[in-house]
Amino acid sequence: MPPTARSHRGRRRSVKVVEDDVELLARLRAGDEHAFVTLVARHHDSMLRLASSFVPSQAVAEEVVQDTWLGVVRGIDRFEGRSSLQTWLLRILVNRARTAGVKERRHTPIGDAEQAVDATRFDKTGQWSSPPAPWVDEADERLAAGTLTATIRDALGNLPPLQREVVALRDVDGLSTREVCDVLDITEGNQRVLLHRGRSRLRQALESEFGRA
Amino acid sequence: MLLRRRDIVCQQAVELVTDYLEGTLSRRERRRFEAHLAACEHCGEYLAQMRATVRLSGQITPGDLTPEMRAEFVALYERWRSQPD
């Protein structure tokens, strides 16, 4: 993959989804069942992933997703196009998930210190004593072979809820910082801290998977 | 993170990576970060790994709805459409 395609992938995908969503929404308003199912299919993973982060079970998460769609079908005219349809959907979802019974999840204050890399890997002067073992090439090979996404999914699933939500919305779903803050109702500063910690943990998980020092 | 006048060390550099990628470092911080990177092979590798981590997360693509789920949503839609609000 050329470097440009890599760096702009999320952005490009997100722009395309927004355009198609607008068209599908118009068809849904006209009562097009196929448009509904297409929209559901497109956003289902992202919605289910986010809902699962808030509620105690997969079954409740699925109910929250359905309930969100019910709200969309019944209140469709209330979407005013001020945000992307995806952001709007996810905001509705978070509201419903919060009322569906939030599991114990917000107990780690964002201000708590958490290091990107374990302190034992640096010497007294703060320089690497156990530097990162290279793994990027191996990961790309595994990606090409189609055996990597399960690893990434697992690593993402093991993140603390808030970090997982931010990383999934930004890096998997391709939302902007602003949209993530909007969906999760957090500040840009907190979003950045959570993104940093989440990505750092993911990198560590990938290093443990691939890195052979 | 507060940076002093002197150069940053690796342990500080790894904490600046996200701000660097997000473009939220001040011009001075970015200059120091890049100066460190130019001189430190390990932190260069670390940054490459963080970029790869972001890129790999983007490879998780939505799975198709199973035929059962599709049928369930079609049924839900038909029920919702036929019921008054």
- Kindly report the CATH number that applies to the domain delimited by A3-99: 1.10.1740.10
**Chain B interface disruption, residue of A200, A201, A210, most B CBs within 10 A:** A200
* Predicted ipTM of the assembly: 0.87
Option in B22, B46, B73 nearest A40 (CB): B73
Measured in degrees and rounded to the nearest 5, phi and psi for residue A159 equal -70, 150
Among candidate residues B28, B18, B23, the one with its CA nearest the CA of residue B8: B28
Nearest to A65 by CA among A78, A85, A51: A51
Q: Is residue B1 included in any domain, yes or no?
A: no
Give me the residue label for tokens 């020092």: A213
Beta-carbon separation of A127 and B78 below 8 A: no
Pick B11's closest partner by Cβ from A126, A156, A174.
A126
Q: What is the pLDDT of residue A195?
A: 97
User: Mean pLDDT score of chain B, rounded to an integer?
Assistant: 88
A70, A31, A10: which is closest to B85 by C-alpha? A70
- Residue appearing with tokens 């969100």: A68
Please state, in angstroms and rounded to a whole number, the distance separating the CA atoms of residues A173 and A45.
9
Show which of residues 149-188 on chain A sit within 8 Å of chain B, judged by CB atoms.
149, 152-153, 156, 167-168, 171-172, 174, 177
Amino acid identity of B19? D
Q: What is the pLDDT of residue A212?
A: 55
Asked if B3 has any chain A CB less than 8 Å from its own CB, the reply is: no
Q: Which of A137, A132, A206 is nearest to B13 (CA)?
A: A132
Q: Does A174 contact B58 at a Cβ distance shorter than 8 Å? A: yes
pLDDT tens across the length of chain A (213 residues): 333 333 334 444 555 566 688 888 888 888 889 999 999 999 999 999 999 988 888 899 999 999 999 888 887 667 877 888 899 999 999 999 988 766 655 555 566 678 999 999 999 999 999 999 999 999 988 888 888 888 898 999 999 999 999 999 999 999 999 999 999 999 999 999 999 999 999 999 999 988 654
pLDDT digits (tens, 9 = 90+) for B22-40: 999 999 999 999 999 999 9
Q: Does B69 touch chain A (CB under 8 A)?
A: yes
pLDDT at position A71, please?
A: 86
B66, A18 Cβ separation under 8 angstroms:
no
What average pLDDT does the segment B47-70 reach?
89
Residue predicted with more confidence, B51 or A53: B51
Alpha-carbon gap: B27 to the closest alpha carbon of chain A (Å): 18
**Angle, CA of A52, A74 and B72, to the nearest 5°:** 55
Q: Taking CB atoms and an 8 Å cutoff, what residues of chain A touch B52?
A: 136, 139-140, 206
| A78-to-A43, A46, A147 alpha-carbon distances in Å | 19, 22, 42
pLDDT at A110: 63
The reply to whether B3 falls in a domain is no
CB nearest to A199's CB, from B18, B62, B70: B18
Inside any domain, residue B45: yes
Distance CA(A65)–CA(A90), nearest Å, equals: 10
- The residues spanned by each domain of chain A are 3-99, 119-210
Domain around B14 = 10-82
Structural contact between residues A55 and A12, judged by C-beta atoms closer than 8 angstroms: no
> Rounded mean pLDDT of B30-54?
96
In angstroms, the separation between the Cα of residue A126 and the nearest Cα of chain B is 5
CATH of domain A119-210: 1.10.10.10
Instruction: Using CB atoms, pick whichever of B18, B49, B70 lies closest to residue A132.
Output: B49
Q: How far is Cα of residue A85 from the mean position of the Cα atoms in its chain?
A: 16
The answer to the question of residue B29 being in a domain is yes
Chain A residues closer than 8 Å to B46 by CB: 117, 132
Q: What is the pLDDT of residues B63-80, one digit of tens each?
A: 778 888 889 899 989 888
Query: How many Å apart are CA A39 and CA A36, to the nearest integer?
Result: 5
Which candidate, A45, A28, A26, A46, places its Cα nearest to that of A183?
A46
Which helix H or strand E contains B41, and what residues bound it? helix B41-57
What is the domain count for chain B? 1
Query: Does some domain include residue B4?
Result: no
CATH number of the structural domain spanning residue B73:
1.10.10.1320
Closest Cβ opposite residue B80 in set A37, A74, A156: A74
CA atoms of B6 and A68, how far apart (whole Å): 53
